[in-house]
Amino acid sequence: MKLRRCMQDKQNNQQDQQKIHILWGGYFNCHHPMWDRDGDTHLFTKKAIDKAEELINSVADQEMYMPLPKGIPTLKHMVTK
């Protein structure tokens, strides 16, 4: 994953031990039981889970956390309003 390599390079090139702040931006539309509704099993394909786990592992490697708890919708479809 490009993000993981980038973060490793940043850590390796850091001249001193000052804290650095980095904002991750991108299209992280991944499906995983950790944050999707349990009923959305059709979204949990092997490919989708593998992609999401790359993101999960990258977040864990940086000792970060997911701020949005499971069950909070990030999108409301017009048919559900």
Mean pLDDT of 3-15: 68
Tokens of 53: 């786990």
Is the Cβ–Cβ distance between 54 and 28 less than 8 Å?
A: no
**Residue 3 in domain:** no
Cα-flanking dihedrals φ and ψ of residue 51, to 5°? Answer: -65, -45
**Residue 17 in domain:** no
Q: Whole domain around residue 30: which residue ranges? A: 26-81
- CA atoms within 13 Å, Cβ hemisphere of 36: 16
- Alpha-carbon gap, residue 51 to 26, rounded angstroms: 14
pLDDT in tens, 12-58: 666 556 777 777 888 888 899 998 888 989 999 999 999 999 889 88
pLDDT surpassing 90 at residue 63: no
**Residue 46 in domain:** yes
Count of domains forming the chain: 1
Amino acid at 60: A
Whole-number pLDDT of residue 81? 53
**Residue 14 in domain:** no
